[in-house]
Amino acid sequence: MATSESTAVLTAEGIGKRFSGVTALDGVTLDFRPGEVLALMGENGAGKSTLLRVLSGDHGPDDGHLVIDGAPVTFDSPRAAMAAGIRVIYQEPEIIPHVSVAENVFVGELPARGRLVNRRTLHRMTREALREYGFEGVLRPETLGSRLSPAQRQLVEILRVLTATSPPKVIAFDEPTSSLSEHEVDALFALIRRLRDSGVAVVYVSHRMKEIFQLADRVAVLRDGSLIGVEDAASTDENRLVRMMIGRDLSTLERRATQETGRVVLRLDRVSTDDVTDISLEVRAGEVVCLAGLVGAGRSELAHAIVGDLPVRSGTVELDGKPLRARTPGDAVKAGIGFAPEERKTDALLMQRSVRDNVSIAVLDRLRRFRVVRRAKERELVAEYVRELRVRTPSMEQEVRKLSGGNQQKTVLARWLARRPKLLILDEPTRGVDVGAKAEIYRIIDGLAAEGIALLVISSDLPEVLSLADRIVVLRAGRVAGALDRDDATEEAVLTLAIPATEDAEDTEEIAS
């Protein structure tokens, strides 16, 4: 241990981070060594992104601290972390849309005489950087930021880091290959190896085992915010890492009892939108259908299209056997569909308003007499669902932003239960929710299915999908890759359908760009 500490360029010591009561990181101690690729693995929500945000100075840790070259440091901003040589390359980098690639790369450090930017020097520097790092032909210095594909945006971010005046000591990549084509991945890997050989400490976050074993020297596994262990890549194997990631909790997740399912409530027939193609699926009353797939497969976009928030280009949506042509979410609500979107803080909740306002918003048309809201009836209804879903709040007048993530999500669920929909669409219902609340949300979903509501649940959490679903429909690059009955479903089977095989890579790229 003493030797590793002496060689580490950066050490995280007992880092803990909580968000409104939910523990995102708990006592994580990890060192980052020069000339080494450290892979960071873990399921969605294990705390990888939070750890990166602590490293980059985006979040201050609640416990513990970072140590650089033996001295403890605190970063009060991303700028301070950059100055110390720590850079994080996120999946969705900030790109200024109306300026060129060259200006995007050198933003903040434009070559200038006085205040005048020297555009010719700028473009020459950009071309040189592109040549040096092997991205020639992938990017042009003149292209506007708004015209870049996701892969190109990421390359711009990488160039920003590499051309910075203070040379980076630690570079973290957050799932860099998810938007890259095979050719670009090769270039990126060559670059990462070069960085490592030049003495940079590289942190590499990925779900893809193959990549981990190609690149990593050590693998750190996080689960539920805790560091489970660090393995030498040479002496570990895939099974062992998967066991570390999933832990024993998997077996404790009980499968729902099978329900008698009823009539078909939702039927999609060859539905195409701008993001998905030829989607056909059915959800029956009392049935839970999970939409699985990688982030970006088009699951959320499909949900938004069903409720009329995005246009359906072709195909038909039927609700209870009748064609549904929802042009706005309002049409879908009237037809009997409830929708809890993925981003509950920005897309579902009125954060500054009370639990009562947030629950009753979708049922005001049933609570009014001559347009006057009947307050007593409203309070009665809200109280009923707050009690039923066990929303932990001092009173129904509490502002929603003061509740924990789990109770916020239960507030959204209460809204739709109060509406009594035929179909409920839940997009990532347990994201950012602590373990206890998760179990309660599963119980609620169970109860709804038992009452005969049809449920379409989007989730990236595989154990959750396996435990909840009666049927799993897997999307890949905007198309249905396959459907699994609960008895045939394993994590492996779902992942095999979700992850594009190599020959599919071209297709994915086309759809993504």
Partner 1 sequence: MTTIAHPVSPFRRTVTAIGVQNSSLLLTLIALVILMSSLNENFLRTNNLLLIGSAITIMGLLSLVQTLVIILGALDISVGSMAGLASVVSAMVFTSTGSSAVGTLAAIGVGVVCGLVNGMIIIFGRVNPVVATLAMLATYKGIAQVISDGKAQGYTGADDLFIFLAKGSLAGLPTLVWVFLLVAAVLHFLLRYTDIGRNIYAIGGNDTAARLAGININRYIIGVYALVGVVAAIAGLLITARTGSGQPTSGSEGLELLAVTGAALGGTMLKGGKGSIVSTVLAVIILGVLNNGMSGLGVNPFWQNMATGTLLVVAVVLQQVRGGERRVGLPV
**Residues at the site binding partner 1, with contacts judged by CB under 8 A:** 307, 309, 328-330, 332-334, 339, 341, 346-353, 357, 360-362, 364-365, 367-368, 371-373, 415
Residue 141 CB, shortest distance to partner 1, in Å, is 30
Q: Looking at the DSSP assignment, which residues form a beta bridge with residue 268?
A: 281, 317
**Sign of the four-CA dihedral 243, 244, 248, 254:** negative
Cα separation, 262 vs 319, in Å, equals: 14
Pick 212 or 418: Cβ nearer partner 1: 418
SS3 141: coil
Cα separation, 423 vs 348, in Å, equals: 17
Pick 123 or 419: Cβ nearer partner 1: 419
SS3 315: strand
Pick 210 or 369: Cβ nearer partner 1: 369
Pick 58 or 347: Cβ nearer partner 1: 347
Burial class of residue 214 (count of CB atoms within 10 Å of its CB; 0-12, 13-18, 19+) = middle
Listed residue (274, 266, 267, 268) closest to 313, CA to CA: 274
Show Cβ contacts of residue 105 under 8 Å, excluding neighbours closer than 6 positions. 126, 129, 156, 159, 160, 163
Residue 414 CB, shortest distance to partner 1, in Å, is 12
Residue 365 CB, shortest distance to partner 1, in Å, is 6
Stretch (H or E) spanning 283: strand 279-284
Residue 368 CB, shortest distance to partner 1, in Å, is 5
Residue 397 CB, shortest distance to partner 1, in Å, is 12
Residue 353 CB, shortest distance to partner 1, in Å, is 6
According to DSSP H, which parts of 111-269 are helical? 119-132, 150-162, 182-197, 209-215, 238-246, 249-252
Residue 421 CB, shortest distance to partner 1, in Å, is 10
Pick 162 or 348: Cβ nearer partner 1: 348
Max Cα-Cα span within the chain: 77
Pick 83 or 364: Cβ nearer partner 1: 364
Q: Which two tokens stand for residue 40?
A: 């960071």
Pick 325 or 368: Cβ nearer partner 1: 368
Residue 391 CB, shortest distance to partner 1, in Å, is 17
Pick 6 or 346: Cβ nearer partner 1: 346
Residue pointed to by tokens 């009353």:
285
